[in-house]
Amino acid sequence: MVKIATFAKPETFRNNYTTHMMTTIESRKSNIRRELILLILTFQIASCIGQVKEKTDKDARGNEINTQPINSNQSTTFPQIHTNLNGMVREFVRAMYQDKKGNYWFGTNGNGIIRYDGDTLARVIVQQSPQWLAIRKIIEDKEGNIWFGTSSGLVKYDGKNYITYSTEVGLQDEEIWGLAIDSKGQIWVGSVGGVSHFDGQKFTPFELPNTVVENANPMLSIKGAGGFVEDNDGNMWINNDGNGIFKYKDGAFIHLTKGNGLTDNNAGVGLKASDGDIWIGSFNGGVSKFDGNTFINFTQDGIIEGLETGGFCEDRQGNIWFTAEGLGVYKYDGVKFTLYTTEDGLTSNVVLSIFEDNKGQLWFGTWQGLCIFDGEKFVNARDKEPWTN
């Protein structure tokens, strides 16, 4: 049953740390695995100059690609109610994207990159990357290159090859959480070790101010940056792990914290809506938005429930969708909030990602598989897109 938000005070519920703790532990494990892999590779007689990952096969469109056979019997961490992309997703899909050519890209939490090119659904093998590879962000530049922010570096797909950039070529840290392209075409990379600018050739460190809130409680690192959004005035909003948000333009910073508008210092700017509003999620403070003048704190004001929020997406009708950990997903139509749950067909009330494809279908990556909302109902993704089965 669809639930319409009222102005009643939200009940206090348990803040779920599971996703963050699992991700942190697995990220550290991936670093150890990466070091072992690199050690082994030093004894192999093979060239990897320039970090270019050579492919061995070609896809249906002639692009070079190295894929892994589908394992439909792979065991999963969580019971899969809806499709897990024919057994290729062990945990969940963290990032989804459809590029200008119509290819679907799925970034998993541990199983790397999965692509559907209109003919074949396959896992992409980025050579010399660790077996456990998390994909946090997927973006596309104006030239059509696809960029992936991963737990083991920055990866670019140029239509033929996958090129990996690591600390060896200037990246501050290989554990990437934020990735964006600004209006000038500059790439912003946020990692556990800080922020970098990348022009396609070299990385330039971008230093955030040393100002730190009292009793800062970062999830991974006080230097860490987890996301970027550029507003209509050209300000870049930068998430700083446990230290609020920095707003930057022309060499000047404004530090946004719980003391001057945010609901929580563990906050993350998630979306610039088509009307210019900036939407912000958090780990402990729910959802708010900035309309250019003031912050409106929907959770703090008792309009909606849910302390841990994120995964923002604006659909083609202008509705704002976002996740509320353990509760389901909200839709805001500009007037009211509607909460959707498993009672409405949602796979799970724990949703990690939301994405709209070129057909106007909304995809939801959950702990228990992928589902699609077609404008009327939630269904197993394979019912709408049989190739996901």
pLDDT tens track for 121-139: 999 988 778 888 999 999 9
- Compute the mean pLDDT over every residue in the chain, rounded to the nearest whole number: 84
Superfamily of domain 3-388: YVTN repeat-like/Quinoprotein amine dehydrogenase (2.130.10.10)
pLDDT at residue 48 greater than cutoff 80: no
- Phi, psi (rounded to 5 degrees) for 98: -120, 125
Instruction: Evaluate whether 53 touches 161 at the Cβ level (below 8 Å).
Output: yes
Locate the DSSP E strands across 192-348.
194-198, 203-206, 225-230, 236-240, 245-249, 252-256, 267-272, 278-282, 288-290, 295-297, 309-314, 320-324, 328-332, 337-340
For the four alpha carbons of 18, 226, 151 and 145, in that order, the dihedral sign comes to positive
Q: Residues of the chain with pLDDT > 90: what percent?
A: 75
pLDDT bin (cut points 50, 70, 90) of residue 74 is: low
For the four alpha carbons of 370, 118, 76 and 355, in that order, the dihedral sign comes to negative
pLDDT tens track for 303-352: 999 999 999 999 999 999 999 999 999 999 999 999 999 999 999 999 99
pLDDT tens track for 173-225: 999 999 999 999 999 999 999 999 998 888 999 999 999 999 999 999 999 99
The pLDDT, as a whole number, for residue 17 is: 33
Burial class (CB within 10 angstroms; exposed 0-12, middle 13-18, buried 19+) of 109: buried
- Cα angle, residue 183 at apex, residues 227 and 320 outer, rounded to 5°: 55
Q: Which residues have a Cβ under 8 Å from the Cβ of 242 and sit 6 or more positions away? A: 213, 216, 217, 218, 219, 222, 265, 266
Rounded Cα gap, residues 306 and 61, in angstroms: 44
Q: What residue ranges do the domains of the chain occupy?
A: 3-388
pLDDT tens track for 283-296: 999 999 999 999 99
The pLDDT, as a whole number, for residue 207 is: 96
Q: What are the beta bridge partners of residue 114?
A: 106, 123
